[in-house]
């Protein structure tokens, strides 16, 4: 087969979709010894392997040309030249209008643009309104990272169930347990935080509900129950002002809440391992990769009871309503005041995380490629 991939996420700043595409590309290169791959991007990127069956197709345009316009013009031209059998769009937007002989696979991470458009930056929302629904219609097969996202596709976009395959994400091997006390000491020295901390990880944007988490920390402080610093790691998205406003309103200091910004991936395992509790208060997630990574590192977790998050954490997490600041606060208080509970949650989480691997994810994607290629023979 000749398989094309929209590889633009490989040159994006580190984030959820970038990590998903990177890990799948790496595993596909290891397990697939037969097929040819063509990676299309409007920006240069590095591959962690040298394999003659994998070909970069990079064509840059002026920086003011929107990336999705490039996809629908220059990428289409290159795809037709390469005579593909399969084209995989791993980030919501399909190259539309391709010849029928090319089987089109689309990965949908979530339907936040449909469910919670107010939590998106306006440019991103417009792009999804223009291209995402058409991409769903034109795709021959769709992969969704959770049964929750599959249900959203069926209910909100009327996609038939048989067109969608649930493909859970994996967790990289470097996310594994370390001595919690040693990890906490190293994180404290490197980032200047307390050795007693709870943490949250994710891009700072409204959907992550960090303002509510900060409000909950404020409640605990007012009640005299705040025994740990909240440490938030994540790149600057948009909407941080609401979390900052909550800090001011609750009269919190940096001793109570610290936003570290983006931290390198090599520091994340220690951040998770040293945390007394990992809190994931998102309003909506298509999967929730940081939650899985924290579980793999042996951190006890407390998370929202919405969308895909119960599907990921199973019986290894504490749940709260993300719309209830009081419930978030009481859940954190319960976890911090019951060490035996945290130990049990950490044990369950580490065991559950072992069920999710990038190799299993890539093998399912490869099997979809093979099935779709047979359909057009």
Please report the domains of the chain, with CATH numbers, ordered by start residue: 2-170+357-375 (3.40.50.2000), 180-353 (3.40.50.2000)
Residue 15 predicted with pLDDT over 80: no
Residue 168 predicted with pLDDT over 60: yes
Residue 277 near residue 336 (C-beta atoms within 8 A): yes
Query: In the predicted model, what is the mean pLDDT of the chain?
Result: 92
CA distance 128 to 92: 8
The predicted-structure confidence for 209-233, as pLDDT tens digits, reads as follows 999 999 999 999 999 999 999 999 9
pLDDT at 239 (0 to 100): 56
The predicted-structure confidence for 81-125, as pLDDT tens digits, reads as follows 999 999 999 988 898 888 889 999 999 999 999 998 888 877 788
Residue 314 near residue 155 (C-beta atoms within 8 A): no
Task: Report the predicted TM-score, pTM, of the whole model to 2 decimal places.
Answer: 0.92
DSSP per-residue string spanning 147-178 = HHHHHHHHHHH---GGGEEE------TT----
Residue 192 token pair: 């200047």
- Residue 148 has phi, psi (to 5 degrees) of -60, -45
pLDDT at 249 (0 to 100): 76
The predicted-structure confidence for 345-374, as pLDDT tens digits, reads as follows 999 999 999 999 999 999 999 999 999 988
Residue 241 predicted with pLDDT over 60: no
- 103 Cβ partners below 8 Å, 6+ apart? 85, 86, 87, 140, 141, 372, 373, 375, 376
- 167 Cβ partners below 8 Å, 6+ apart? 107, 143, 144, 145, 361, 364, 365
pLDDT at 14 (0 to 100): 72
In the beta sheet, which residues pair with residue 106?
89, 142
């Amino acid at each position: 087969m000749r398989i094309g991939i929209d590889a633009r996420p490989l040159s994006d700043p580190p984030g959820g979709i970038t990590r998903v595409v990177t890990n799948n590309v790496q595993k596909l290169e290891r397990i697939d010894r037969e097929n040819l791959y063509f990676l299309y991007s409007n920006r240069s990127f590095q591959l962690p392997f040298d394999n003659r069956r994998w070909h970069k197709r990079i064509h840059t345009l002026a920086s003011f040309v929107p990336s999705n316009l490039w996809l629908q013009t220059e990428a289409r031209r290159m795809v037709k030249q390469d005579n593909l059998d399969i084209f995989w769009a791993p980030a919501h937007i399909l190259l539309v209008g391709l010849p029928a002989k090319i089987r089109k696979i689309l990965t949908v991470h979530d339907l936040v643009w449909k469910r919670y458009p107010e939590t998106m930056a306006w440019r991103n929302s417009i792009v999804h309104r223009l291209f995402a629904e058409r991409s769903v219609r034109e795709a021959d097969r769709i992969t969704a990272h959770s049964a929750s996202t599959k249900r959203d596709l069926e209910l909100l976009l009327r996609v038939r169930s048989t067109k969608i395959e649930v493909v859970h994400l994996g967790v990289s091997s470097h996310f594994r347990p370390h001595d919690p006390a040693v990890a906490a000491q190293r994180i404290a020295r490197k980032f200047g935080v307390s050795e007693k901390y709870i943490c949250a990880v994710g891009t700072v944007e409204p959907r992550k509900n960090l303002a509510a988490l900060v409000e909950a920390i404020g409640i605990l402080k007012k009640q005299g129950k705040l025994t740990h610093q909240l440490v938030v790691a994540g790149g600057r998205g948009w909407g941080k002002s609401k979390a900052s406003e909550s800090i001011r309103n609750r009269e919190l200091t940096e001793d109570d809440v610290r936003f570290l910004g983006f931290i390198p991936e090599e520091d994340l395992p220690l951040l998770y391992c040293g945390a007394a509790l990992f809190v994931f208060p998102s309003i909506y997630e298509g999967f929730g990769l940081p939650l899985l990574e924290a579980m793999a590192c042996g951190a006890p977790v407390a998370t929202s009871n919405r969308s895909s998050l119960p599907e990921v954490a199973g019986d290894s997490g504490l749940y709260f309503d993300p719309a209830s600041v009081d419930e978030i606060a009481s859940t954190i208080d319960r976890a911090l005041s019951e060490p035996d509970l945290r130990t049990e949650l950490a044990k369950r989480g580490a065991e559950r995380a072992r069920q999710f691997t990038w190799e299993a994810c890539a093998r399912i994607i490869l099997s979809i490629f093979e099935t779709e290629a047979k359909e057009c023979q």
